Amino acid sequence: MKEYSAHWMSSVRPGKQRKFRFNAPLHIKRSFMAVHLAKPLRKEHKRRSVIVRVGDKVKISRGTFSGKSGKVEKVDTLHEKVYITGIEHNKKDGSKALYPHHPSNLIIEEINMQDKRRFAHAQKTAKVTPAQKEQKKPQKAEKQA
C-alpha cells in the first residue's frame, strides 16, 4: 500500500486521517501551517487565515502560554510546529529551549510584509462587493440625439 496518495479525499477513521497528515509531502504539509488572522487583519486582507512565516507577530490563544505574544523565530513544517521568541521552557539540565506550538493555537497580530508576493495573488482574487463593482464600472455617455 502506498504511504501517500494525492487522490486521497477523506476517511471516517481517525487513524487514516493521522496517517495522511503524517505521511504528506512538505508542499502539502505547508498548507497545514495556516494560522488565523486577528479581526482587523481579516478585514484588511479579506482572508481568514494565512500560512505563518518567520517575522510574523503572533498571540498564543491556547495552552500554558495563552495570552502571550511574540515574533515567530522558527517554523518547522516537517513536525508542524512554530517557535516564538521569548516563549521558552526549562529543560531538566537547567537550560532554556524554545517551546513548540501548533499553528491552530495561534493568532497572527502583525504580518511580515517584506515579501511583496505574499499577498499579490490574494489581492487579485479578493472577493468584490456589489458596491465596489458599481464604482469600477465606467459610466456610459448619454447618446445625443
- State how far the Cα of 9 lies from the Cα of 49, in Å rounded to an integer: 22
**97-129 pLDDT, tens digit each:** 999 999 999 999 999 988 888 878 766 666 666
Q: Could you tell me if residue 66 is inside a domain? A: yes
Q: Could you tell me if residue 106 is inside a domain? A: yes
Q: Could you tell me if residue 54 is inside a domain? A: yes
Q: Could you tell me if residue 42 is inside a domain? A: yes
Q: Could you tell me if residue 82 is inside a domain? A: yes
Furthest-apart CA atoms within the chain: distance in Å: 91
Q: For residue 1, what pLDDT band results from cuts at 50, 70 and 90? A: very low
Q: Smallest Cα–Cα separation from 35: which of 51, 46, 12?
A: 51
How many structural domains is the chain composed of?
1
- State how far the Cα of 133 lies from the Cα of 20, in Å rounded to an integer: 42
Which domain does 98 fall in, by range?
A: 35-125
Q: What is the pTM of this model?
A: 0.79
- Whole-number percent of the chain with pLDDT over 70: 84
CATH number of the domain encompassing residue 57: 2.30.30.30
Contact by Cβ (8 Å): 82, 76: yes
Q: Could you tell me if residue 44 is inside a domain? A: yes
**35-55 pLDDT, tens digit each:** 999 999 999 888 899 999 999
Q: What does the DSSP 8-state code read for residue 107? A: E
Q: Could you tell me if residue 13 is inside a domain? A: no
Q: Could you tell me if residue 91 is inside a domain? A: yes
Element (H, E) at 65: none
